[in-house]
Amino acid sequence: MCWSAQARWEGKKVTVEDLHTQSRWLKTFRRVARPRCRLVCAPHAGGTAQAYRSWPAGLPADVEVHGVQYPGRQDRLGEPAPHSMDDLIGPIADSLEPFLGEPLALFGHSMGAVVAYEVTLELERRHGQVVDLLAVSGSRAPHERENHDRHALDDEGLIEELRRLNDGFTDLLDSPELLELVLPSIRADFGVVAGYLRTPPVPVRAPLLVLGGSEDPDVSPEQLTRWRACAGGAFGTRVLPGGHFYLDDEQPVLDQLTPWLPGRRS
């Protein structure tokens, strides 16, 4: 499917406005003329699309890679941060419309896992099975959410919670100037997570791969298996060494993900 404003899906014209929406919500880290598939990755709470900027180096050369950019950060700092999952799902699904009809995989880590799950459900509601793989990481299942009100912590408590989740945040957390910029989006994202629950779970038609860290303080390997209730077809789990941000060591993650990626449709 081409990237021009004349691209079509089931007779629906994809307009210039659609492509503008896509450019705000998606950052492209590798463009491929005829990709084996497109991989669209949703970041964790407080995260940005840049979390996936180095992924193309560890994936096959024919995989096109995009990161989701939530509002309220970086180049979208002037936009309101999301207040609920509904603020994210519809616009992200809209941004993926030009990709439909070609092989498509969605990946999400932590908050991004349920974002990717809900976007998959929304696309399936609109069009049927158009996502060829849903891969989720570092998250409890949609019907078994965490009992954390991190968004209600004061700044000091929120900073300590971030240290607990990932000591790699040290440079950020020790910079008052950066904290002033990022804490509002982190707090807003934690509020989105706290307000989210889907019960009963709804199975996706896409194959479902679940990944996590063996030492994740919030999501145990056993809890990862409960995503099975969200699988309407193929299902697999992979547990890798590390904590909540085990995927900072990204190549083992990409090695597990690659065999599940779809190929070109005949």
E strand map for 4-146 = 8-9, 12-13, 26-30, 37-42, 63-68, 104-109, 133-137
Active site residue 20: no
> One-letter amino acid identity for 116?
A
Handedness of CA 90, 184, 191, 253 (dihedral sign): positive
CA–CA separation, 133 vs 87, rounded Å?
23
110 is catalytic: yes
Among residues 110, 137, 139, 185, which one is catalytic? 110
Please check whether residue 139 is in contact with residue 209, taking contact to mean a CB–CB distance below 8 angstroms. Answer: no
Question: β-strand 12-13 against 8-9: which pairing, if any?
Answer: antiparallel
Burial (CB < 10 A; 0-12, 13-18, 19+), residue 35, is: buried
Q: What is the CB neighbour count within 10 angstroms for residue 98? A: 23
Catalytic residue among 44, 66, 109, 244: 244
Cα distance between residue 77 and residue 72, in whole Å: 4
Residues in the chain: 266
Query: In whole angstroms, what is the distance from residue 73 CA to residue 59 CA?
Result: 27
Active site residues per annotation: 110, 244
